[in-house]
Amino acid sequence: MLSIKNLHASVEEKNIIKGLNLDIKPGEVHAIMGPNGAGKSTLGYVLSGRDGYEVSEGEATLNGKDLLDLEVEERAREGLFLAFQYPVEIPGVSNMEFMKESVNAMREERGEEPLTAAEFLKKAKAACKQVQLPLDFLKRGVNEGFSGGEKKRNEIMQMILLEPKLCILDESDSGLDVDALQVVADGVNSQRSSERSFIVVTHYQRLLDYIKPDFVHILADGKIVKSGDASLALEVEKNGYAFLGKEYQGEEA
Amino acid sequence: MSQWLNEVIDSASDVNDFLAPARQAALADLKNEGWPARRNESWRFTPLTPIEKRTAVAAKTVANAEIPAIDNLNAIDLVFVDGVLATELSSIEVPEGMAIIALNTSDSAAQSSITDMFGSVKPARHLFGRVNDALSTQGVFIDVNADTKVDTPIRIINIATQNVDAHSRVLVNVQANASAVIIEQSVGNVDSLTTAFAEYSIADDAHLEHYRFAMVTGSAKQLGGSHFKLHNRSTLNSTVVGYGSELSRLDVDIHHAGEFADAKMNAIYLLAEGELFDLHSTIEHAMPNGTTEENARGIVGDKARAVFNGRIHIHRDAQKTLAELNNRNLLLSRRGVINTKPELEIYADDVKCAHGATVAEIEEEALYYLLTRGVSRSKALVMLNFGFIQELINDVPNEAIKTWLLPVLSERFSHMEVK
């Protein structure tokens, strides 16, 4: 599914990702943990193609396609989905208008007919219900005035509608209470399948109680320094990142 | 002095028609004032260099030109090709309750009405307005009878097809308690110069729905104006759309000459490449209890330049005036320029007057967010940035025009370069 080899990337000429390797097979859930400043969010931005994130070395392919060669929207149409840590508020563009455009862009990519307004509305209502967002959120401006938890649920709703192949969840648990966390996790779990893979970026082991990972990686100073199964997350929870040694502990925000 | 202006003055001396006294006065002004200095406030952001050394060429008749279509508008079209009224392209039928008379009429009653109106609304201050005063032997006078509601739109089209100087004049007299729909449209992209000025007198209790589509592009140069005089309880609803060209300048004056008049104007400009569009708006409240609401919104891409000068002048007697003028701009490119300038002069103490101007840039983060969901770049830009233009399009009272304008403008916008 996703193959990252020796990836180096920088932001404003500062090297953040420094030789990262990661291989993800269909259906797998990989958790990425690590201290602040390790490059966890940067990885999502680099893979999605955000402006200003420069790749200087290495490669990243999604189902054999060179991701780094594609525009942001083309990567999305290839099936890459990034759930934002801080979803952007866009007043003046309704959630509904945005998602309809988006879903139909994906359908066009797959050679399918665009959904009619009625067909789309039916799907959108179901997705809205699944993440427990009131239906009037569809009519509101994208994330406009949403609470932190509502924004995160809105991200999961988009994921459900867009049916991506690879989902990167960037701290989808941050700022959520237990109930909201359960809703987000249920949404994610409902989408797990043998065809779809996940990268779950998180600070806390807590989320991994709800979304069980197949692998846990520790990202420090721009590369993966340790990999293991779910027990690695428990170890981090208990002992922190002390085992990394001083040079890897990063800056606490 | 500019070569072009010298030639204009020479050719104007030969014009000898029933409007001679008005033309001579304009000519005297042109000789006195001469070519504006570079620091002249009125032309500060709009250099006249493309015209300064131009060779003046008299208007000539051509056989044919393509009329820009607006589906389902069902208008009476009055077509000026390269400055000459092309009767074979124009509609001959005149709706009941109004008269449409060519400016070179030989009818003495009509001549007298035209003489009365010519220059009675348009202020004399504008250089190119004065050139138009001196040379506009082509044009039309539209007279709407009192108590008559004419629904059929009258569209006056200026088409530039070759390198000539075209000067046309429109005079519209909407008599008491009458109403009319008038569209002024100009198109063309060839090297040419058009001065197109219109004067509207809206009598007591009358209504005018007005459109000005200044859509010349490329090296077509256009200097024009729409000038309105509002009498007691009259109403004006005007929509202006501006494209930019090598030099495109439009002056809109709204003069409240009566009490309780109400004016609303929306202006949209979309500029690409190296285009220039300059909109000078002047609102004169000379009488009490008038209202004016003006919204000008524009998007500037690439190396284009927009100039917006919004003046509100509230005279001492114009108590209880309500005047609002708002200018919003979106700059798509670092190389684009927007010069927006408010001018407020208020001499009455019991008025409400608001003036605002903003310039915004593309929100990169919002754009990135939409792109990560697979939305195409051009669609994302339209979604993010076209909304504030669309609001003004939705305000257009005529359905056929609204339906035509939305795709035309969003198409133009989607090709504008973001840099």
| Partners of B307 in beta bridges | B278, B339
What does pTM read for this prediction? 0.80
Residue A251 predicted with pLDDT over 70: no
Residues in B closer than 8 angstroms to A98, CB to CB, are 370, 373, 375, 383
Q: Which residues of A61-95 are buried (b: 16+ CB within 10 A; e: fewer)?
A: ebeeeebbebebbbbbbbbbbbbbbebbbbebbbb
Tens digit of each residue's pLDDT (9 = 90 or more) over B127-151 = 999 999 999 999 999 999 999 999 9
pLDDT, greater one: B144 or A239: B144
What's the whole-number mean pLDDT along residues B202-229? Answer: 97
pLDDT at B418: 66
Residues in B closer than 8 angstroms to A106, CB to CB, are 374
How far is it, in rounded angstroms, from Cα B244 to Cα B222?
Answer: 10
ipTM: 0.94
- Structural contact between residues B198 and B167, judged by C-beta atoms closer than 8 angstroms: no
Instruction: Establish, for the pair of chains A and B, how many residue pairs have beta carbons separated by less than 8 Å.
Output: 66
Please, which residues have CB within 8 angstroms of residue A52's CB and are 6 or more apart in sequence? Answer: A11, A12
Residue A253 predicted with pLDDT over 60: no
Tell me which amino acid residue B347 is.
Y
What's the whole-number mean pLDDT along residues B79-108? Answer: 90
pLDDT at A252: 44
- Structural contact between residues B167 and B103, judged by C-beta atoms closer than 8 angstroms: no
How far is it, in rounded angstroms, from Cα B374 to Cα A37?
Answer: 28
B368 closest CA partner among A203, A49, A21 = A49
Instruction: Using alpha carbons, list the distances in angstroms from residue A214 to A139, A233, B22, B308.
Output: 37, 11, 89, 61
Residues in B closer than 8 angstroms to A71, CB to CB, are 371, 377
- Please report, rounded to a whole number, the percentage of residues in chain B having pLDDT higher than 90: 78
| Partners of B155 in beta bridges | B77, B183
Alpha carbon dihedral B64, B68, B71, B77, in 10-degree steps, equals -60
What CATH number is associated with residue A29?
Answer: 3.40.50.300
What's the whole-number mean pLDDT along residues B21-39? Answer: 91
Does B369 touch chain A if contact means CB atoms closer than 8 Å? yes
Question: Could you say which DSSP state residue B245 is in?
Answer: B
Most A CBs within 10 Å, among B330, B367, B368, B372, to test the A interface: B372
Tens digit of each residue's pLDDT (9 = 90 or more) over A170-221 = 998 888 888 889 988 998 999 999 999 999 999 888 899 999 999 999 999 9
B211 closest CA partner among B176, B232, B174, B186 = B186
How far is it, in rounded angstroms, from Cα B368 to Cα B374?
Answer: 10
How far is it, in rounded angstroms, from Cα B183 to Cα B267?
Answer: 14
Residue A44 lies in domain: 2-243
Q: How far is B390 from chain A (nearest CA, A)?
A: 11
Quick one: which H or E segment has residue B410? helix B399-414
Tell me which amino acid residue B376 is.
S
Quick one: which H or E segment has residue A156? helix A148-162
Which of A72, A77, A93 is closest, CB to CB, to B383?
A: A93
Count up the domains in chain A and report the number: 1
Phi, psi dihedral angles at B211 (to 5 degrees): -135, 140
Tens digit of each residue's pLDDT (9 = 90 or more) over B250-305 = 999 999 999 999 999 999 999 999 999 999 999 999 999 999 999 999 999 999 99
Residues 23-62 of chain A whose Cβ lies under 8 A from any Cβ of chain B: 48-51
Average pLDDT in chain B:
93
Q: Where are the alpha helices (DSSP H) in B314-386?
A: 364-371, 377-385
pLDDT, greater one: A245 or A61: A61
Q: What is the Cα A252 distance to its own chain's centre?
A: 22
Report the SS3 class of residue B79.
strand
